[in-house]
């Protein structure tokens, strides 16, 4: 289970200002801290980047790759920004992402073929709604895969995001259970070993005590791991959660166990 840091977000004032002024240092300092904390990939959550999107995404990719070899996830709904990031990329980039929503399917999905890169597909309906149960998610997955095939992209480039929702939703706990089953059954439904990613931070979105949020993270993460999740998007500075993720990885990898790996 690959650990993807979700800490680089434009909602933070220092990151917003760094992007606005094209100052690489705050970006690079954060990336180095994330890598030291255990990140194995960096999600670039830049938002829509309505002003100079191509220039700003290219800046972000170049700034990160100047100090890190970690894969970067281009997390924006702006296709111009995504393409600029792919053009600036010198190492490994993943498009995050597309869905059955026509604008994203038609403008973002073709970029995965053009640049021969991995792309994340969200299990959202064509109108952007979250499916209510596993059956609906798997139906969306089949339709998403059809669109993926029609775009002429190799299976190896697809990563599925089942879309974790906040547990505070009226059906949040039910959704959390349905997601586990969907992740487990996706490879059989699609007919190949499709990779999956889940945004753990979404589970605790909204108001609530930090201690309770961390407890939920630490409980749900092993459940995702046991369902066969390939990648998890999380706050890499939640150190106890990260330690649990590393232990889950140890227990779900067919290697000879040694206690030293836990120290």
Residues 129 and 247 in one domain: yes
Q: What total of structural domains would you count in the chain?
A: 2
Q: How far apart are CA 235 and CA 5, in angstroms?
A: 6
Q: Could you tell me which of 224, 131, 123, 129 has the C-alpha nearest to residue 175?
A: 131
pLDDT at 160 over 70: yes
87 and 187 in a single domain? The answer is: no
pLDDT at 262: 63
* HEC string for 190-228: HCCCCEEEEEHHHHHCCCCCHHHHHHHHHHHHHHHHHCC
Looking at the fold, whether 147 and 187 belong to one and the same domain comes out as yes
31 three-class SS: helix
Dist. CA 232–CA 242, nearest whole Å? 10
Beta bridge partners of 5: 42, 234
Rounded mean pLDDT of 3-22? 93
* Predicted confidence (pLDDT) per residue in 42-75, tens digit: 999 988 777 889 999 999 999 999 999 999 999 9
Same domain, 166 and 74: no
Kindly give the residue spans of alpha helices, DSSP state H, lying in 22-133. 24-36, 53-65, 79-88, 102-107, 109-115
Residue 123 belongs to domain spanning: 100-263
Q: 13, exposed or middle or buried, with CB in 10 Å at 0-12, 13-18, 19+?
A: exposed
Query: Looking at 75-89, 154-168, 242-256, which range is the least confident one?
Result: 242-256
In tens, the pLDDT along 96-140 reads 999 999 999 999 999 999 999 999 999 999 999 999 899 999 999
CA dist 93 and 70 (Å) reads: 9
With cut-offs at 50, 70 and 90, classify the pLDDT of residue 257: low
Q: What is the DSSP letter of 161?
A: E
Work out the pLDDT band at 258, boundaries 50, 70, 90. Answer: low
């Amino acid at each position: 289970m690959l650990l993807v840091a979700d800490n680089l977000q434009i909602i933070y004032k220092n990151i917003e200002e760094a992007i606005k002024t094209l100052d690489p240092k705050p970006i690079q300092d954060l990336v180095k801290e994330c890598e030291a904390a255990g990140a194995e990939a960096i999600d670039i959550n830049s938002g829509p980047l309505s002003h100079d999107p191509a220039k700003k995404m290219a800046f972000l990719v170049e700034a990160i790759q100047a100090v890190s070899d970690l894969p970067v996830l281009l997390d924006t709904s702006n296709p111009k920004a995504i393409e600029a990031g792919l053009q600036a990329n010198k190492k490994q980039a993943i498009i995050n992402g597309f869905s059955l929503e026509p604008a994203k399917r038609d403008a973002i999905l073709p970029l995965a073929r053009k640049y021969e890169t991995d792309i994340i597909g969200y299990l959202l309906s064509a109108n952007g709604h979250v499916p209510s149960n596993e059956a609906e998610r798997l139906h969306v997955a089949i339709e998403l895969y059809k669109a993926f095939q029609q775009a002429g992209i190799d299976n190896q480039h697809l990563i599925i995001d089942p879309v974790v929702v906040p547990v505070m939703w009226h059906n949040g706990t039910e959704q959390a259970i349905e997601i586990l089953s969907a992740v487990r059954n996706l490879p059989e439904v699609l007919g190949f070993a499709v990779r999956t990613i889940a945004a753990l931070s979404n589970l605790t979105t909204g108001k609530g005590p930090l201690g309770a949020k961390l407890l939920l993270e630490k409980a749900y993460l092993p459940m995702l791991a046991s369902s066969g999740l390939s990648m998890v998007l999380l706050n890499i500075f939640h150190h106890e959660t990260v330690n649990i993720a590393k232990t889950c990885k140890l227990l779900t990898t067919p290697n000879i166990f040694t206690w030293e790996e836990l120290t």
